[in-house]
Amino acid sequence: MLYKVLDKGVYRDFVKALISEYEFIGPKKKDKSEHDFVLIKDISELDTNYMRTTIPPAKKILFPPNEQLVAYELGENINVRSVVESSKKILFGINAWDINGMNFLDEFFTTDFIDENYISKRKKLIVIGMDSEPTETNFSPSIGAEYAKDGFDIYLTELKNRYFVRIATPKGNEILEKYTKVNDAIAEDFKEYNKYMDNYRMKFKMSVDIKSFYDDFESIYDNGDFWKKIAKDCYSCGSCNLVCPTCFCFNVKDDIELNLKNGKKIREWDSCMIPEYGLVAGGHNFRPDKENRLKKRYRCKLKTFIDKFGKYACVGCGRCIEACLAKINIAEDINLVKKEVSI
């Protein structure tokens, strides 16, 4: 990691240069409540002062909701080939918890088998991070995701008249050298950065007691009444999954054209909260009840990947809480599990 500072006076020119040189994806205001990460053509569209995004930016780019995997052509011989799309992009203004969410996906898509469709896009993505305002439902400090230690090329933190710049990769350094001018950070800069981070962490209102969840969860696992109560209002609508920066479930579909010759396989986001998720050919459903599905989601988010990667598959962004019309709240439920087990 290199530590530099960037003068606010040259910041706009730096960003402008990147917009003109690269396919530049950044936050843009969408409506009164949300921003969306889209292709930015002019700096006036860019609004890094954002709070809510429906779909996490990295997931949207690297693991899009619909993606072709395979193309085939039927005939005397069958031709099949892989379809992998990737192009060089800058992802600008992504915040720390979403970077951590992306780090999770990076690890996930390269474990056991390597998912080229994801990783070839990832390899070409230049990530420039920046803090954003947390929503009231954000509990990322409890998970340790309010700060990103890797996964980005450059991370900009806004101080009084300059940006504190953390450079994690040679690529990031190159870009800074090419398009602007930075100076080495000195003790004074570190001091102000440190104070900024303390203040920033104070902005997070929600916190969860997750330390003992790993074991507590098993202790409460068979308590049917507890889970029924929690899941009572669940619509099984899957919104919580689809907006999650670490949710990766998908279906694979075969799509043949009406000429019955050319076809493709595509994947599309799926959700473990809908009844069809556990349905096998022949009609047996392995997870027919919504409380079981909710329990399964919590297990996957908060336990499974502790065993696999030593990480939570949750970064505490609070999107699922905001998306849930039934007001099912993972943060409250974590605390509830703790309470239930300790009395």
Partner 1 sequence: MNKPKVGVFGFTGCGGCQLEILNLEDQLLDLVNAIEIVHFTELVTEYSDTYEIALVEGSITTKHGVERIKKIGNIAKTIVAIGACAVTGGLNCLKNLYGPEKAKELVYGDKKDWIDSIEVKPIDAYVKVDYYARGCPPNRFEIVDIIRSLIVGRKPEIPNYPVCIECKRNGNTCVFELGITCMGPVSRAGCNSRCPNSVSGCEACRGVIDDPNVNAHKDLLSEYGLTVEDIMEGFNLYNACKGKTIEKRDK
Partner 2 sequence: MGFEEKVKKNKNTIYVPDIARITRIEYLSPTEKVFKIVFDDEEIKNKFEFKPGQFVELTVFGLGEAPFSIVSNPTNKDFFKLCIRNVGNISSALHRMVEGTKIGIRGPFGNGYFPCQKMKNHNVLLIAGGLGIAPLMSLIRYILHYREDYKEIMVVYGAVNPGSILFKNEIQYWSNRGDISLCLSVDNPDNKWTGEIGVCTKLIPRVDFPSNDTYITVCGPPIMYRYVIDELEKKKFKPENIYLSLERRMECGVGKCNHCHIGDKLVCVDGPVFNLWEIRNLKEAL
Is residue 341 near partner 2 by the rule CB under 8 A? Answer: no
* Shortest Å, Cβ 28 to ligand SF4: 20
User: For residue 281, what are the contacts with CB-CB under 8 A and spacing of at least 6?
Assistant: none
- Single out the segment in contact with ligand SF4 by CB under 6 A; choices: 38-46, 55-63, 254-262, 319-327: 319-327
Are the C-beta atoms of 148 and 102 separated by less than 8 Å? no
Instruction: Report the distance separating Cα 261 and Cα 75, nearest Å.
Output: 7
Piece in contact with ligand SF4 (CB under 6 A), picked from 1-9, 232-240, 257-265, 306-314 = 232-240
Which residues contribute to the site for partner 1 (CB under 8 A)?
A: 30-34, 36, 54-55, 60, 65-66, 232-239, 242-243, 253, 256-260, 268-269, 271, 274-276, 323, 325-326
Please say which residue, 106 or 289, places its beta carbon nearer to ligand SF4.
289
Residue 282 is a binding residue for partner 2 (CB under 8 A): yes
129 binds partner 2 (CB under 8 A): no
Question: For residues 147 and 96, what is the distance between their CA atoms, to the nearest angstrom?
Answer: 5
- What would the x/- binding string for partner 2 be over residues 201 to 220, using CB under 8 A? -----------------x--
For partner 2, which residue of 6, 58, 300, 337 counts as binding (CB under 8 A)? 300
* 329 half-sphere exposure, CB direction, 13 A CA radius: 13
Instruction: Residue 131: name the closest of 10, 223, 27, 6 by CA.
Output: 27
Q: Which does 275 bind (CB under 5 to 8 A by kind): ligand SF4, partner 2, partner 1, none?
A: partner 1
Distant-in-sequence contacts of 311-315, Cβ < 8 A, 24+ apart = 311/104, 311/107, 312/143, 312/210, 313/104, 313/246, 313/247, 314/143, 314/244, 314/246, 315/97, 315/98, 315/100, 315/101, 315/104, 315/140, 315/143, 315/145, 315/245, 315/246
**Contacting positions for partner 2 (CB under 8 A):** 69-70, 72, 74, 77-78, 80-82, 84, 106-117, 119, 122-123, 150-151, 168-169, 218, 221-222, 248-254, 256, 260, 263, 265, 267, 270, 272, 277-284, 286-287, 292, 296, 299-300, 303-304, 307-308
